Amino acid sequence: MNIQPIESMMAKVSTLLMTPVILVIVLLLIYAVFSLGRFLSQYIVRKKNALTYVKQVAHQQSQYLSGYPIHNYFVANPKASEDELEVFALKKLETLRIVTRIAPMLGLIATMIPMGPALQAMADGNIQGISENLIIAFAAVIWGLTISTLTFWPASVKKRWCAQELINIRKFRDEHAGALR
């Protein structure tokens, strides 16, 4: 069985993927920088409102407070189940977590696509063709890892923030449930 036509078709399709992969990497870089800015802004707002939040938790109050999305969701939806609150928290983190994971994958895809032409250039003795393709290959993986780095830290910190807000909501509910008995 001759699979050379299939191999040839796979090679051609993979080269067609290079442009969309590079475009997605650029869009993800823009998103990563934007998300980092939003994270820093939320950090500043949370820091400014931290004392008020601690007082609300200590005094079993639940009022809207900027920078605390899970808490605010609970204020707006006091009958929301724990599952609903967790789903809301996951939804808040979802895009950052996805970008953190797919950016290195796209960087690797964009690294591997020019490797075929680079190897072909090496076989042909074309040093310039090798270097051009390797520059593209290594730049793509660096950008993918940079994007992942820019989104990993905010995603991790926001996950901790959400977990702490969920814990505080559970304490609030437990103490109010005890007061009703």
Provide the residue ranges of all domains of the chain, joining segments of one domain with +. Answer: 80-180
Residue 134 has pLDDT above 90, yes or no: no
Report how far residue 176's alpha carbon sits from residue 30's, in angstroms, rounded to the nearest whole number: 44
Amino acid at 62: S
C-alpha–C-alpha distance, residues 152 and 158, integer Å = 10
Is residue 179 over pLDDT 70? no
In the predicted model, is pLDDT for residue 180 greater than 50? no
pLDDT band at 178 (very low <50, low <70, confident <90, very high): low
Burial 68-100 (b: 16+ CB within 10 A, else e): bbbbbbbbeeeeeeeeebeebbeebbeebbebb
Coil/strand/helix, residue 61: coil
Q: Distance between CA atoms of 143 and 104, rounded to whole angstroms? A: 8
Give buried/exposed letters for 32-43 (b at 16+ CB in 10 A, else e): beebeeebeebe
The pLDDT mean for the chain works out to 90
Q: Is pLDDT at 15 greater than 90 in this prediction?
A: no
Cα 72 to Cα 30: distance, rounded to the nearest angstrom: 28
pLDDT over threshold 90, residue 98: yes
Pick the more confident residue, 124 or 35: 35
Distances (CA, A) of 56 to 70, 136, 146, 180: 14, 53, 38, 20
Q: How far lies 33's CA from each of 37, 54, 59, 99, 172, in Å?
A: 6, 30, 38, 12, 36
Whole-model pTM?
0.84
Instruction: Give me 178's structure tokens.
Output: 């005890």
The two counts, helices (H) then strands (E), for the chain are: 5, 0
